[in-house]
Structures are given as C-alpha cells and as structure tokens.
Amino acid sequence: MGLALLLGLFALGVIIGVPVAFVLGIAAVTAFWYEGLPLVIAFQRIVSGVSVFSLLAIPFFIFAGELMFHGGIAQRLVRFASSAVGSVRGGLGVVNVFSSMLFGGISGSAVADVSALGSILIPVMKEKGYSEDYAVNVTVTSSIAGILIPPSHNMILFAVAAGGGISISQLFLAGVVPGVLMCLCLVVAAYIVAVRHGYKAEPFPGWRALGLHAVAAIPGLFTAVIIVGGVLSGIFTVTESGAFGTIYAALVTIFIYRALTWEKFKLAVVNAVRTTSMVMILVACASAFGYMLTFYQVPARMIEFLTGISDNPIVILLLINAMLLILGMIMDMAALILICTPIFLPVVMQMGMDPLQFGMILMMNLGLGLCTPPVGACLFVGCAIGNVPIERAVRSIWPFYLAILVALILTTFIPAISLTLPEALG
C-alpha cells in the first residue's frame, strides 16, 4: 500500500502538471509519514542529496554553456562546420549535425544546442530552400550530442544517482564513441532525406576560408579541452575543471570574440541561476524519493519482474530500452536519471553489464525523449524557433528517430562502443 501511495501521488502530480521536483518531494514525505518513519530522516535525505562535492560542477557547466551561447562561440562553430562539410549533398543538414557535435561537446546541454544553433541554422536553411520541418528535425535530433559527448552535467547526475562509485572521467570517455556514432547515423539520415527531396550542396568556400574559420573556432573549442582534458589528465577535479572552463569561456567571449555584452552577461547569469536551482531542487527531492524506492525494495522487485518475463539478456535489455523510451516521452530527463538509475542499474549489473555502458544507454534513451512529444523540450524549442507546428514536425521526423535507434541498439549490444576508450585511456 505504501508503494502504491508513493507512485500514485507521483503519477497524479505529473498528470496535473505539478513541477516534477516538488512531486518527488511531496510523494516521498507522504510515504515517510504513512510508514511512521521520522520526518526528520526525510529532510536529512533531502539535504544530503545535494551535499555532494561533485554536484558543484553542474552550476559551472551550466554557466559556461550560457556564456558560450550568448558570447558568439556558436556562430563561429557553424561557420567552421559549414566550410568543412557544407559541400556535401544537402550540406546544411550535415553542417547542422556537425555543428551540434562541436557545440554540444562544449555546452553539454541539448536544449542549449537547439537554442544556440537553431536560431542560426534554421533561418539559413529555410532561406536556402530547405523545408521548415527538415531544418527543425535535423536541429532537434542532433542536439542529443550535447548529452553524450563530454562534458555533460547529466553524466554527473548519473554518477550521483548510481551511488557515487562511478568515475566521472570514465563516463566522459565512455560517451565519446556513442555520441560520434549517433551523429554519423544522423548524417546518413540527413543525407538520404536531402537526396530524396533534391536539396543541393553548398559550394566549397576554399581551403583558405576553411583555415580562417577553423582558427576562429579554436578558442571556443578549447573550452572543451580545458574541461575534459583537465579531468582526464588528473590536473583538475570535475568541479575545478568546470570553474576554470567557465572563467576561460568568459575571457574568450569578452576579450577575443568581443560578443558578450553586459546585457547578455546578465541574461546568462539569470538563466544559469534558474537552471541550476531547478536541477538542485530536483536532486534533493529525488534523494528522498530514491530512499523510499529502496525502502520498498523496488530494485529487487524489478529484477524479479524482468527475469520472470524472460531469462534471455537480449529480451531484458530490449524491455529496459522500451521502458526508458516510454518514460522519456512523458518526463523530464534529469528526474528520470535520478529515478531510473537506482532501479535499472542493479538489473543490468546482475546481467554482467558495465555501469558505464548502461549510462550511455540511459542517456541515449532519455535524450531521444527530449525530441518526442508530449514533453520533449528540444522538440518544443526547435519548433518554436522554426515556427513549425509540432504535429507537422513529428510526421516527418521518423528517419532521424530511426537513426538514433540504430545507434542505441548498437550501443546496447556492442559493449566495446562504450568501453574501449575508458579501458584504453582510463
């Protein structure tokens, strides 16, 4: 009965539109009260949920992403990508994916990717004769690169939700190949759709222009080198690398690109504070909610449920993927990382899967949820920028969904995709 109360209150709150963070807290505290547990323990769990040193990196990553969004880095990355791959058939679609791979690897945020690159590329693609829904679909689906290619604050959330025993630097390494693989699959989809619709290639601007745009993009790209390289080399902790990366992004956008005005800086601060507050409240309340899930032995029950359906690892992994895909369509990504990790991670570890590989499977599944209705944040932002009805975008987005699913299946059943870099460089 207590578990039904916990999950029932959570489902009811989500349905009626209460913010997920508050729903988690309300459901957890109510379950504590129902079981007669001291409420002081509930609030201790809430406070301890954010008393984790590595979480300090999240506000730095978010702020760095905002500075880069408002400071001109995205524009220079787009110019470089356009010079490098724009001459391919349907070149602006390929440019879009390539730009997302570059910018996502710096900002670490899918929504920031859509906002920054979409506001630049979607109008240009429409002007060059690409359909509105094609421009939106490529932008939206390629934005998931920001979740997988390091640095990514979602990786930090996963490490915390997994109990803190997973190396964040190892997670960063594990995300590189799956992220690049997914982008390659999206490039293939973008090319095929472009050929079917007869979109033309952009003229090659010449090696000199390519070199100039590459030089202009290097200071922005070096932000990722500082953050990721500092962690992997052991020079910085994740939190320290986030702080140095933020300082560097500010210096680049103010003194080198000279695009970050005082008004844009204030906007970046406000957006970063707002996003950080949402994430931290979510982490705090999810800690109490996760405690009650463990109290009701939900992970053990999930193992019994899945193994009761089949003892075939392939079937179980397909079921887990299906569950994560469905959940990703109806809930926020950060909340699902915090809720689903303690439930499903013990299941896959019992099957012999490395936690790093499961982390990439989780990220890709929930990232796809950001591109799907009814609560896909990236889809909403992309459609708003492109002025395209969501229904119209969804009708033509299926080739890009299929591309991501191909990458997901390969990542699920080929461990080397996620584990080769961590094993070689970790």
Per-residue confidence (pLDDT) for residue 416, from 0 to 100: 95
For residues 170-191, give the mean pLDDT. 92
Q: Which domain holds residue 340?
A: 2-425
Say what the pLDDT of residue 238 is: 81
Q: Is the separation of the CB atoms in 407 and 142 below 8 Å? A: no
Does this model's pTM top 0.75? My answer is: yes
Whole-angstrom CA distances from 65 to 116, 241, 348 are: 10, 14, 33
170: left (phi over 0), alpha (psi -120 to 50) or beta: alpha
Number of domains in the chain: 1
pLDDT at 412 exceeding the cut of 90? yes
Q: How confident is the model at residue 287 (pLDDT cuts 50, 70, 90)?
A: confident
82 pLDDT higher than 80:
no
Give me the DSSP letters along 294-334. Answer: HHTTHHHHHHHHHHHH-S-HHHHHHHHHHHHHHHHHHS-HH
Short-list 372, 57, 30, CA closest to 237: 57
Identify the pLDDT of residue 334: 82
Q: What is the DSSP letter of 149?
A: S
Asked if 172 and 150 count as a contact pair (C-beta separation under 8 A), the reply is yes
Residues 232 and 235: their CA atoms lie apart, in Å, by 8
DSSP 223-262: HHIIIIIHHHHTSS-HHHHHHHHHHHHHHIIIIIS----H
> What average pLDDT score do residues 89-111 get?
75
pLDDT at position 93 is: 82
Q: Which residue has the tokens 């309340």?
A: 285
Distances from the Cα of 53 to the Cα of 58, 160, 407, 421, angstroms: 10, 10, 33, 26
